[in-house]
Structure formats: structure tokens, C-alpha cells
Amino acid sequence: MDQKIFVVDTTMRDGSHALKHSYTVEQVTSIARALDESHVPLIELSHGDGLGGSSYTYGFSAVDEFELLQAAGKVIKNGKLTVLLLPGIGTIEDLKRARDCGAQAVRVATHVTEGDVSAQHMKAAKELNMMAVGFLMMTHMASPEMIAEEAKKMESYGADYINLADSAGYLMPEDVKLRIEAVKNAVQIPVGFHAHNNLGMAVANSLIAVQAGASYVDATLCGLGAGAGNTQIEVLAGVLKRNGYETGLDFYRLMDTADQLVRPMMLRPQVVDSGSLMLGYTGVYSSFLLHVYHAAEKYRLEPRDIMVELGKRKMVGGQEDMIVDVAYQLASK
Amino acid sequence: MKKIRAAVIGPGNIGTDLMYKIFRSPYLEMGLMTGIAESEGIKRAASLGIPVSIEGVDAVLKREDIKIVFEATSAAAHCHNAPLLKAAGKISIDLTPAAVGPYCVPSVNLDKLLAEPDINMVTCGGQATIPIVHAIERVAGAEYAEIVACISAKSAGPGTRANMDEFTETTSKAIESVGGADKGKAIIVLNPAEPPLMMTNTVMVKIKKKDVTIEAIRASIDQILAGLAEYVPGYQLRVPPILEGDKVTTIVQVQGQGDFLPAYSGNLDIINAAAVTAGERIAQRLWKGGT
């Protein structure tokens, strides 16, 4: 087998959640350099909630993301510096600034059923000569057929590939397979997958996605990411190699970077604790985790109860503000 | 008192809901519904006995009796229409992101804008949150204000979807210029849950005064709520203001009046209600003999 798989690193974007958006210029410079030297083709960096995410709602960045982008842009020689943009949070103005800092690709993320809000930003990316990726979040909340329709819309706006995110870490391998296949059959462009490890399925689901036809997979050093984290890049590199897929990644270099560079930066172990488990079990957006812990402490509630209620209310990505609402309503009962 | 005649340009969902609100108004009378093509909205208005046209703004310019014009089209259309309407001596109430005239949030600054030839109604999220930002700012100061507007996917029409940036940018600017915050930030989220969720807005403000009490903030918000209740009866506090250090958080919900659009689309209702309220106050001024 010689199918080429593109592994997209998001240590400095999704991983930013786990560090409470505290990345420094020194940290991103060293991570970006190591990833580039490990031959990672796309290296994503922005606030965890994408460009413009620094806020009360999602947490303020310790260092302005454009400063971080500029630093990473200086050391990335071979890969593409990539940013995430959620329409409604980040703007085209932010995208232009990111491009000026060296970003060459943008992933425009919307809730799985709302792909059409990406049209404006996708068009802008193309005008800026950037690679544009259609990124559908919370794909457990829609059927494979519905997802295929949204993917087709994004393809029509000029997407270079479609990325399906299991943002709640909820999907089972069979669900992943059906979703990747449905989109693969509906569009002419490549398909990718973004996992969360809330049910301990991230690496397995990523492998299933690749076997179902995905050619892009998201991963992070040490599995750093929202909730229980993402697919661990050094593990994925080994697993894909064992299964005969060509990634071009420097397996040993990634392991060393994870051990020596990233693990010492971590604020908490990236494990499936009961809070993360409940995210995956109830289908709640992974980035909610640390905000739920904060609200649970303030209102003296069980984090689990807040998550169950958020799941019942069908809250989507970006609705971190509703954690306070839920906590307040539960505490007033 | 004789009612002042108004026209609605743009017979879509927003324009039709405006028409129903004007029917209820003691100060305004629906004089014309105009669009640029035959449509459901034109048919509906005609069936209700309202003069209709598909000649767009030209139909308004031909009507001497029409004094107030609600623009429910697009930014590009209003940029084109605004100078024509102004030259014809008609007052524009602009519901598009064009923002030719100053931003208007009735409970905050309508009093100062009654003589303007063209006022802009910001955004739905702006109408729902800026009164709260202002209420907090006037007692505690506001170094930074951030709002998150969550609307149901069903209530976000093609215009909103194609113009997410205009929403965030316009709302952010108005949080500053009307709400009084030194820096503003707006976030919008679409939620597709069924049944559709009510419009919900979170307002977070970094205040300047260290000695202000939560009671003083609450009292200021309550006063603003009383003013809002006059034109948006479905506006309510979901989470009363919470003070943590220098940060005030409060959450409001907006239920629509269900004139033409369903009650969950409080976002569409509040901008229309604000526009009609502005129109009524302007009508009262015109009626009193002002020019």
C-alpha cells in the first residue's frame, strides 16, 4: 500500500485549549520548528476557538495570536502554516492579518448543519491565494446523508478538502466509517477527519477514517487538545506506518518532541478523566470541559450534571456562554 | 391624530413582519409595500389591501404622502436608495448593514436621533444587547464589553448567513459607539436544535469603577428593561447580573411577538420592533409640526 496520508498538526490550535491559551512566542517557535522538521504538511495555530477567539467566553490568549503566528511563520519552511476560523467569531479582516503573518491555509469551521455560513470566508481565502478547507464540527449531530449535503456546499465555495470533526469525541468506529464514505462519495475533493479522545477512541477512529478513504487526519503532540485531547500524533504516525500508509512524518522526531518539548509544558495530564468521559458520552463540545469545571466549582454543582443538561439542550460549538446559564438554572432549582 | 404614512421597501420576511407591526401602530399607517419582483410578500400585502409596487424605490419617490421609509433590503440597495430618499425629504429607517446614518438603539439613544434623515438599526444582536451594555456602563464604566448572540438556525435567513462578518463588525462598533464601551466584541452562534431555541444573549462587561455594587448595576438594568418592555414584551433576564472581580455577566432571552414570524425568532422581532418604535417617535415629531 502506498496511499499518501496528510497528517495535520493542531497542537498549537486545539492543543491551546489544554494550555488555557497560554502559549508564548518561545513555545510556538520551538514547536513549529520541530513539527516542520518532522515533515508535517499542515501546521495549525490560532486560539483554540479560531482567529478572534480570545475573549471572556472562550478564554483570553496570554499572547496575541498574530504575534504567535508571526513567530511560527518565521520558522516554518516546508509545511503550511494554517489557521482556524469560525464565522461569527473570526472575520475576514482577521484572516488577512493571519495571511500577512505567513498563514497559507485556513480551515473554515461551522456547525455540521450550517455549512453555508462559510461561503463568505471561503471566497475570501481563495482571493487571498490561501488553501481553504471546509471544516464541519459536531458531526455526530447529523446523519451521513445530511453531512454529505453540507460538504457539497463547501465544495461549491471552493474548499480544497472537507474535514469532518468529531468535536464531542462521541462517534463509534462504524459512525466514522459511514460519515467518511458518505462525504467521499458526494464530493470530488479529499476528505479528512478530526477526532477527540473522550471515549478513548481517537487513534482507532482516525485509523478507521483513513481506511474508509480519508486522506487528511488531525493530530497533536501528546494528544494535547480540548476535552480528553485529540489523536496523539506520535502514536498515529506509528499506527499509520504499521498499517502501511505513507505519511512522510519523522516518527522518532515526533516522539522526542512530544517527550522533551510538549509534555513539560502541560498544565494537566491529557487523560480521559470523568469530565471528558461525560463529554463523549453525552455528545458535548470538547472545549466546554474546563469552563464546565469552573462553573461547577462556582455554583457547587457536579460537572456531570451540567454536561448532561448541555447535551439535552443540544448546545453547539461556540456556546460556552450557556454553561453559566445551565449552571445558574441548575443551582436555582 | 392623523397617522403618518410609511412605506416598506423589501417584501421578504422582515418587511412583512414590519408591515404587521405597522398595522398595530397608533402613529403609523402602511402606505406602500414595494419590491423589485413579484413575490409572496407583494401578494400578501396586496391581499391585505395595501398599495404595492415592483418598482422598488421609484414607487416611494412618486408618493408625496409617504414620509417614513423602512428599508428591509440589502446594504447595497440602501446605499443606492438613501440619497434619493433624502433628496425627496423622506426619513429612512435602515434595517440593512449599510449604516448610512447613525446607529439607533431606541432605549439608549433614540431621543438624540429624531431629526436625522436616516437612522440605522444596527443588528438584531445589537438591539438585544446594547441596552444592557449601556445600563452597566452608565453606572460602572465599561473598559470592554463582549456579547454572544445565539439565534436559532431557522431564524437566520440567507442575508444573515452570507454576511456573518457584517454582523460581528457592526455589532462590535455599536457596542462602543452606542453602548459606551471602550472596546466591543460581538460573537454570533447559530443553533439548529429542534424545536428552535429562543434567541439568547450573554453580555459580559469589564467595568471600571471598583466601588460599584451589584445592586446599583441591577437597578440600572431593571430601568432599561422597563423601557425595552414597551416595545419587546418578550425580553427577559435569564441570568441576573453576576459580579466576579471586575467582570459583570448577565444573560437575556428574547421571545418574539409572533406577528408574522414565529416566536422563537426573537432576533428578527427585536430589530423590527426597534425600527417601528423609532418610526413612531419620528411620526409623533412630524405630527407635532416639526419638519
A13-22: per-residue pLDDT in tens? 999 999 999 9
Cell of B279: 418610526
CATH annotation of B4-121+270-287: 3.40.50.720
Chain A interface with B: residues with Cβ < 8 Å:
55-57, 87-89, 91-93, 111, 113-114, 116-117, 119-121, 141, 313-319, 321-322, 324-325, 328-329
Compute the radius of gyration of chain A from its Cα atoms: 18
Are the C-beta atoms of A295 and A329 separated by less than 8 Å? no
Angle subtended at Cα B76 by Cα B184 and Cα B152, rounded to the nearest 5 degrees: 55
Strand order in the sheet with B91-94: B52-53, B28-34, B4-9, B66-71, B91-94, B118-120
Report the chain B residue with the minimal C-alpha distance to residue A117. Answer: B161
Report the chain A residue with the minimal C-alpha distance to residue B200. Answer: A322
Question: pLDDT tens for residues B113-150?
Answer: 999 999 999 999 999 999 999 999 999 999 999 999 99
Cell of B271: 430589530
pLDDT on residue B97: 86
Residue identified by cell 516546508 is A78
A317 to chain B: which residues are within 8 Å by CB? 189
CA dihedral over A233, A235, A236, A238, signed as positive or negative: positive
d(CA A94, CA B172): 14
Residue B287: pLDDT band by 50, 70, 90 thresholds? confident
Q: Which of A189, A217, A191 is nearest to A203 (CA)?
A: A217
Considering the domain B124-263, what is its CATH architecture?
Answer: 2-Layer Sandwich (3.30)
Compute the half-sphere exposure of residue A256: CA atoms within 13 Å on the CB side of its CA.
10
Cell of A277: 468521559
B147 at A interface, C-beta within 8 A: no
- A72 - beta bridge partners? none
Question: pLDDT tens for residues A115-139?
Answer: 999 999 999 999 999 999 999 999 9
pLDDT on residue B291: 46
Residue B100 has pLDDT above 60, yes or no: yes
Mean pLDDT of B67-95: 96
pLDDT on residue B110: 97
pLDDT cut 90: percent of chain B above it? 92
Question: Which residue numbers in chain A have pLDDT < 50?
Answer: 1
pLDDT on residue B26: 96
pLDDT cut 70: percent of chain B above it? 99
pLDDT on residue B265: 92
* A55 contacts B191? CB cut-off 8 A: no
pLDDT on residue B289: 67
Residue identified by cell 450573554 is B202
* A315 contacts B190? CB cut-off 8 A: no
B200 at A interface, C-beta within 8 A: yes
pTM metric for this prediction: 0.95
Ranges of each domain in chain B? 4-121+270-287, 124-263
- Work out the widest C-alpha separation in chain A, in whole angstroms: 59
Nearest to B162 among A89, A119, A315 (CB): A119
pLDDT on residue A2: 58
Residue B157: pLDDT band by 50, 70, 90 thresholds? confident
Domains of chain A: 6-264 (3.20.20.70), 274-332 (1.10.8.60)
Report the chain B residue with the minimal C-alpha distance to residue A93. Answer: B165
Compute the half-sphere exposure of residue A206: CA atoms within 13 Å on the CB side of its CA.
30
- Give backbone dihedrals phi and psi of B73, rounded to 5 degrees, phi first: -115, -120
